[in-house]
Structure 1
Amino acid sequence: MPQEFKKQYKEILKQYTLSQTEHNLYEGQNVSRQLIQKSISPEEVISIHKASLEEIIPGLPEEVLHSFDFLIEVMIRYGLALKEHQTLIEKQQNFKMEMDLATNVQQTLLKTKIPNMNGLDIGIISVPAKEMNGDYTHFLSNENAIGIAVADVIGKGIPAALCMSMIKYGMDSLDGPETDPVVVLDIINRIVEKSVSDSMFISMFYGTYDSALSEFTYASAGHEPPLFYCAKSGEFKELQAKGLLLGVIPNVRYEQHSIVLEKDDFIVMMTDGVTECRSKEGFIDQKIILSIIESVKDKPAQEMVEYVFHKLEELQEFEQRDDFTLVIFKKSL
């Protein structure tokens, strides 16, 4: 430790003990900058302070001097704990930077354009519970048909995002929206089964809307069944279709069904972040969710999905526990 620093510190301390002026305190602040530059630890400063004080005020009680020894031990432990804390903060900051980058990449990679088709009103909302979204939606379209995929990875974070990229790869390999849903799920399942860890599973729903026939054809790989609302009867019906989760085994037989939509009928596709919403009392009953959807059945599809999200968010006291995705196909003509 430089001797000139000890002398400088002793002189500043001596002047302060004599007069206690603002100028003395200012000089002390300037000394603190030197501590960092010279890499002098807090316990070393206390040792210098103790030695200087013994010279400035001879005959200090032994109890006072011993208190400085105690303080040195405290500062040594404090310094170690502080370094560990700073290292942890740095790691957390680096992790956050990586997560922000991964989130931006995911948003760019998985971005999908909502198609525009005369006679079909589409609404979509997808809100992640954390930084990265474990839900995925993708549209395929041409002049005659629209295909819609809604998927949910059982898992979160970067591994889930990598699974999403496999789905997108499979979707981009398709010929178009008129591909049968069972064929789509078979292709995606084979890709996922080969490329994704055994610990990651994906549920997925895929449907196609034929504008000429007003027909919606669909299949499911262990996904939440969509809801069909019939305007004529004013009733909801689940669109059930059996099928195993993606990535479990390579060869799976999926069911395919179709339903014809009439004016003001609509189909509600979702992930379990909608059906498994929870309040403090427990899961929100499906009847409540259906009543919320029905209360805005006359609104445009985008207003419907946004209203449902905000209403369920309110019922959960704004504590979103899972990714939330809701898509509505509503026949407007």
Structure 2
Amino acid sequence: MALSRTVLRANALIPRSARDAVREANALIAADAKSGMFVTLFYAVVDPVKKTLTYVNAGHNPPLLFRSGSERVLELKGTGIILGVMPDADYGEETLALEKNDLVLLYTDGVTEAIDSHEKQFGEQRLIETVTGCHDLPSREIVDRIRRAVADFSGDEPQFDDQTLMVLRVV
């Protein structure tokens, strides 16, 4: 994990496309990875002047884009395989136009895979419903609401995986 983070950060500093940065990082990680070791990644570049988000999704659960003033939610789906498996893997790159007050939610699978006492998962649909109900709140409050919803859903069940959340709001 530490090697992956270092490789990704170093590649992000070199001016090039998101696709090329991820492709080069993957080659370096794959050359050093032990069998069965891999990394999922959502790599994004936000251009605040053009109001665009360019991303590569290498096997990470898809972030959610909540469009301002509408009920539309877009999944930022995968554009390539996980890192560290195939050194010569190629990655696609997507660019989306952003609008004022759009919201991008990034999360780890520990959020959607949290379980209740019946071993039912919190799931992506429940996550979408939670955010839709508080979409206009400040980012910190959205994160707090999601954490509370997951905790209420899970009750006394132990947390088996990390639960990381990040909210990006376009201003």
Task: State the TM-score, normalized to the length of structure 2.
Answer: 0.90
Match of 2:129 in 1: 291
Q: 2:147 aligns with which of 305, 309, 312?
A: 309
Residue 279 of structure 1: how far off its partner (Å)? 1.1
Aligned letter for 1:273?
G
Alignment of 1:94-133 (within 5 A): none
Q: 2:81 aligns with which of 244, 263, 284?
A: 244
- The question of 1:268 aligning with 2:86 is answered no
- 1:170 to 1:211, Cα distance in 2 relative to 1, 3 A: same
2:111·2:122 contact (CA, 8 Å) conserved in 1?
no
| Structure (1 or 2) with the greater helix fraction | 1
Alignment of 1:174-185 (within 5 A): 174=11, 176=13, 179-185=16-22
1:214·1:262 contact (CA, 8 Å) conserved in 2?
yes
- The question of 1:190 aligning with 2:37 is answered no
**Residues in 1 aligned to 2:104 and 2:151: alpha-carbon distance in whole angstroms:** 21
Match of 1:22 in 2: none
**Structure (1 or 2) with the larger CA radius of gyration:** 1
Classify the secondary structure of the residue corresponding to 1:315: helix
**Residues in 2 aligned to 1:249 and 1:285: alpha-carbon distance in whole angstroms:** 29
Aligned letter for 1:286?
E
Residue 175 of structure 1: how far off its partner (Å)? 5.4
Alignment of 1:20-99 (within 5 A): none
- 1:331 to 1:178, Cα distance in 2 relative to 1, 3 A: farther
Residue 280 of structure 1: how far off its partner (Å)? 1.9
Query: Over aligned residue pairs, what C-alpha RMSD do you find?
Result: 1.7
Aligned letter for 1:185?
V
Residue 240 of structure 1: how far off its partner (Å)? 1.6
Q: Residues 76-95 of structure 1: CA distance to partner in whole angstroms, max 9, x if unpaired?
A: xxxxxxxxxxxxxxxxxxxx
- 1:177 to 1:210, Cα distance in 2 relative to 1, 3 A: farther
Aligned letter for 2:160?
R
1:293·1:304 contact (CA, 8 Å) conserved in 2?
yes
Match of 2:63 in 1: 226
**Residues in 1 aligned to 2:47 and 2:53: alpha-carbon distance in whole angstroms:** 6
Unpaired segments ≥5 residues, structure 2: none
Residue 174 of structure 1: how far off its partner (Å)? 2.7
Aligned letter for 2:25?
I
Residue 178 of structure 1: how far off its partner (Å)? 5.8
Task: State the TM-score, normalized to the length of structure 1.
Answer: 0.48
Match of 1:212 in 2: 49
**Residues in 2 aligned to 1:188 and 1:182: alpha-carbon distance in whole angstroms:** 10
Aligned letter for 2:28?
I
Question: Identity rate of aligned residues, in percent?
Answer: 25
Q: Residues 287-317 of structure 1: CA distance to partner in whole angstroms, max 9, x if unpaired?
A: 2211111222111112211221122022111
Residue 177 of structure 1: how far off its partner (Å)? 8.2
Aligned letter for 2:104?
I
Match of 2:170 in 1: 331
| Larger RCO (CA within 8 A; separation ≥ 6) | 2
**Residues in 2 aligned to 1:311 and 1:175: alpha-carbon distance in whole angstroms:** 34
Match of 1:129 in 2: none
Match of 2:5 in 1: 168
Unpaired segments ≥5 residues, structure 1: 1-163
Q: Residues 122-167 of structure 1: CA distance to partner in whole angstroms, max 9, x if unpaired?
A: xxxxxxxxxxxxxxxxxxxxxxxxxxxxxxxxxxxxxxxxxx2112
